[in-house]
Amino acid sequence: MIMSRRKNLHLEDNLEDSFLNLTPLIDVVLIVLISFVLIAPLVEIDRVSLAVGSSSEFDASAMQKSPINIYVLEDNSVKLNAKTISLTELKTELKWIKAKYPKEIPQLFQDKKSAFGTYQEVKNMVEELGFTGLDVILKSN
């Protein structure tokens, strides 16, 4: 009988040791969650909207940074430095400009109502011609 009592005590001790106390962990998680809920409305998120309209409406200060300005307008027409051209003409013009200004980075003024495919074609063309980058100019709020 003494032996069985010792075995039962030993089993009860093992059962108590096998359970973890998760209360402190849950308290910390709740405090972090509450702090996020309280702080989230106070954080302001900046938004950037794409430029809309003709090439004359884009920011003039950004245009002075690069001699290579590409405009994709709402109707998917393309302008290079205020001259309306087709995508095939754009490629030959960009080759010539790349030879003249090898270190310059083109700036793309993309209208938000234009097709994404036109942007993709221009971007691929710029990469193919060996430019090191492409600045996409957005209109801030």
> Could you tell me the pLDDT band of residue 63, with boundaries at 50, 70 and 90?
very low
Q: What is the CATH number of domain 48-140?
A: 3.30.420.270
The contacts of residue 73 (CB under 8 Å, 6+ apart) are 54, 55, 79, 111, 114
What would the two tokens of residue 135 be? 């600045």
DSSP state of 112: T
**Percent of the chain residues topping a pLDDT of 70:** 69
pLDDT tens-digit map of 8-24: 555 555 656 667 788 89
126 and 135 Cβ atoms separated by less than 8 Å: no
Identify the helix (H) or strand (E) that includes residue 70: strand 69-72
